[in-house]
Amino acid sequence: LGMAFGFTSCTDVTGTDDTLIVYTEAGFAPFEYISGNEIVGVDVEIMNLVGKKLNKTVKFENVAFDTIIDAVSAGKLCNVGAAGISITDARKEKVDFSNEYYTANLYVIYPADKATEYQVKTTDGKTGIYWDKLAGKTIAVQSGTTADLFAGDEIGEGGTIGGTGAKISGFDELATALEDVGVNSDVLIIDELPAQKLIEGKSKYACAPLYYKGGEGEADEPACDVYAIAVTKGQTELLNAINEVLEELGAEGIQALVNKHLGI
């Protein structure tokens, strides 16, 4: 899927090679998306700044999300994965991660006419959805994402909706997953900003944040994850350059990029 077979290996991206190849999945606005014939977004801008710092041309390749970590781990076709990637223990065994740069709440997209079936008022006064509202439901996710991992945990033995008949339906692309909501899937779980962007102008869908229900006397907890950039292990100079760019941007700079690509 869009792999850079025409390029030479970029294993030594911090050496003589003047091209830095970055794997992404360009259906995750505002972090990466297609505009015209090019991939743009927050992660693209971050990595372009890294390229300037290292005096390298940055080339983005659009691939299936669940291939990115293994490709970065191998370090042959690319050395960087930038795609709103969340840090997990399993992924840390394969790649190094940059500093965290964005925290995202998981959101549930559902048919707008079924709001009363899903929505609750959470302890922080927001309209949200508890995991147990998804009992027995078919949950669409983008394969290999944190939403996929979270849902798998909750459907598994001992999970909030384990044993209820709930199941996961995995998709390569979010747009295809959305089209399945209300058809073969009941809901779609993805991160907040992509969820809002995905249903923009589509009145048949609605979305709300996903929560873990607090125990007696405890507050409800939003389901959330944090983004970082994945780098081939051992690429210290590259990793340091990414962290320098993230530090220079800071939280305000990252948010400004998010706003820019949301059209705010």
182-216 CB burial, b ≥16 within 10 A, e <16: beebbbbbbbbbbbbbbbeeeeebbbbbbbbbeee
Report the pLDDT value the prediction gives residue 29, as an integer from 0 to 100. 87
For the chain, the residue count is 264
Model confidence at 13, pLDDT cuts 50, 70, 90, reads: very low
Q: Residues 70-119: pLDDT tens digits?
A: 999 999 999 999 999 988 889 999 999 999 999 989 999 999 999 999 99
CA dist., res. 106 & res. 108, Å (int): 7
Contact 42, 33 (CB under 8 A): no
How far apart CA 160 and CA 129 sit, in angstroms, is 13
- Provide DSSP, 221-262: EE-EEEEEEEE-TT-HHHHHHHHHHHHHHHHHHHHHHHHHHH
From CA 36, how far away is CA 188, in angstroms rounded?
27
Averaged pLDDT, 247-264 = 92
Question: Does 15 score more than 70 pLDDT?
Answer: no
pLDDT, one tens digit per residue, over 198-255 is 999 999 999 999 999 988 889 999 999 889 999 999 999 999 999 999 999 999 999 9
pLDDT tens-digit profile of 163-179? Answer: 999 999 999 889 999 99
Res 7 pLDDT > 60: no
pLDDT in tens, 183-209: 999 999 999 999 999 999 999 999 999
- The per-residue pLDDT for 2 is 35
pLDDT at residue 40 is higher than 50? yes
